[in-house]
Amino acid sequence: MQQNIVFSDQALELQATARKIADEYVRPGAAHADKHSEYNMKAAKAVASAGLFRAWIPEAYGGVDAGILSLAIVAEELAKADSGFGVAYAVNALGSFPILLGGTEEQKQKWMPKIAAGETFVAFCLSEKFAGSDASGLAVTAVRDGDHYVINGEKKWTTNGGVADVYTVFAVTDATSKSRRISAFIVEKGTPGFTIEKIEDKMGIRGVPVVETHFNDVRVPVENLIGGREGLGFKHAMMTLDHARPGVAAQAVGASQGALDLANVYACRRVQFGKPISQHQMVQKMLADMAMKTEAARQLTYAAAAAIDVNGPSPANSKMAAMAKCFASDVAMEVATDAVQVFGGYGFMEDYPIAKFFRDAKILQIYEGTNQIQRMVISRHLVREANDLEHLKDFIPSEEQKSYGAQPTTAT
């Protein structure tokens, strides 16, 4: 009943579709994708056929304009079955947001309908070996040469690399500028000089490729400069991450719920000392804490996603997005850890799916901005907001008042 109050019928329909695909295509293929580091293309095609890539894209560009909240609940359902595939789904939003939020009308018309239809997969090329959390420290360059830009350098940890058809790439166009140093470009797979190099052998999310992308005199036409102007790349990157972080939080919520569900079922079946371990108080406390934290993360995630849908980019929504990503991914790691404990010795064995949830959960605390960075973002917003709390200063004794034992003034 509560969901019908919160979500539109369209969102609930997308959620139900995602759950069906998760049950039929994602969960059955999760172990194979993990073991063999293979992309679950069958599930991705099912997602495309069902129109789930249209969720966050406006109708004008082939989407259904369901917003970030619908993106979040779809990602949650898919991640509940396989958190690695949840990443594979949501990274298409991450890669497409620079075009959607900062692109010219011509760029949106050209690329977004293909992304919405699931005909074109996308990747996001921001991080480098020496520029991870510090996005302003990029070294990849793009130099104007007539009607083209020539890109050189290499990117690190490109999720969806190799699978993606289109890459949104951030590069330095003006090394002398501090505020307008970076620009963003659309680079197509197969462009001469653009290659996929090292494919990372990962601890978790093994079903979605993470690679190094190399650029050796890669020539892209001027019309592929996102937004049509140089120097907007950092702004586009920050807007993209603010929009994408509720999606990461949703993946974390799905991972938490998936691990909790497995732990709950196992606890009700595993008999020790003559009764299911779910009847032992220590296990009950663990399950209860896992459930409370997962639900708290879910509601924070939904609130952050809905706020972006209602108000768009804003400092308040940037803070909310960081809070959701940080809290939900911390919860995912805690819940996965406790789920392994509930499974006991079996939780440590790869024969059981809970070990995969544990391995997958860790990346959520790292990628798309480490949780240390999220806490910095949150605290900076809080410090700025202190200016709006000046009315509280009368309730805080000054150093002089404390020295002489005076009491703070109070309102009458």
Residues 250 and 109 in one domain: no
Across-strand partners of 128? 131
Is residue 279 domain-resident? yes
Look at residue 95 and tell me whether its pLDDT is greater than 60: yes
Q: Which of 89, 121, 153 is the last residue of a domain?
A: 121
- CATH number of the domain that residue 30 is part of: 1.10.540.10
Residues 336 and 292 in one domain: yes
Q: Which of 63, 90, 121 is the last residue of a domain?
A: 121
Is residue 283 domain-resident? yes
Is residue 399 domain-resident? no
Is residue 262 domain-resident? yes
For the chain, the three-class secondary structure string (H helix, E strand, C coil) is CHHHHHCCHHHHHHHHHHHHHHHHHHHHHHHHHHHHCCCCHHHHHHHHHCCHHHCCCCHHHCCCCCHHHHHHHHHHHHHHHCHHHHHHHHHHHHHHHHHHHHCCHHHHHHHHHHHHCCCCCEEEECCECCECCCHHHCCCEEEEECCEEEEEEEEEEEECCCCCCEEEEEEECCCCCCCCCEEEEEEECCCCCEEEEEECCCCCCCCCCEEEEEEEEEEEEHHHECCCCCCCHHHHHHHHHHHHHHHHHHHHHHHHHHHHHHHHHHHHHCEECCEEHHHCHHHHHHHHHHHHHHHHHHHHHHHHHHHHHHHCCCHHHHHHHHHHHHHHHHHHHHHHHHHHHHHHHHHHCCCCCHHHHHHHHHHHCCCCCCHHHHHHHHHHHHHHHHHHHHHHHHHCCCHHHHHHCCCCCCCC
Identify whether 200 is a catalytic site residue.
no
d(CA 354, CA 340): 6
pLDDT per position as a tens digit, 334-344: 999 999 999 99
- CATH number of the domain that residue 303 is part of: 1.20.140.10
d(CA 139, CA 179): 15
Residues 79 and 115 in one domain: yes
d(CA 65, CA 112): 12
Please identify which of the residues 13, 368, 385, 399 carries the catalytic annotation. 368
d(CA 263, CA 353): 10
Residues 309 and 217 in one domain: no
pLDDT tier, 307 (very low <50, low <70, confident <90, very high otherwise): very high
pLDDT per position as a tens digit, 361-373: 999 999 999 999 9
> What are the C-alpha distances in Å from 248 to residues 201, 253, 326?
21, 9, 9
Pair type for strands 122-125 and 166-172? parallel
Across-strand partners of 199? 211
Is residue 289 domain-resident? yes
Is residue 398 domain-resident? no
Residues 115 and 153 in one domain: no
Residues 66 and 53 in one domain: yes
Residues 31 and 117 in one domain: yes
d(CA 24, CA 77): 12
For Cα atoms 263, 264, 266, give the angle at the middle one, nearest 5 degrees. Answer: 65
Q: State which residues form the domain around 72.
A: 2-121
Mean per-residue pLDDT, 1-9: 62
Is residue 80 domain-resident? yes
Number of domains the chain is built from: 3
Look at residue 3 and tell me whether its pLDDT is greater than 50: no
Residues 131 and 202 in one domain: yes
Comparison of pLDDT for 314 and 85, the residue scoring more: 85
d(CA 338, CA 260): 9
- pLDDT above 90 as % of the chain: 87
Report the range of poorest mean pLDDT among 128-132, 140-144, 319-323.
Answer: 128-132
pLDDT tier, 394 (very low <50, low <70, confident <90, very high otherwise): confident
Residues 240 and 324 in one domain: yes
Nearest CA among 229, 203, 284 for reference residue 107: 229
Residues 256 and 177 in one domain: no
Comparison of pLDDT for 65 and 133, the residue scoring more: 65
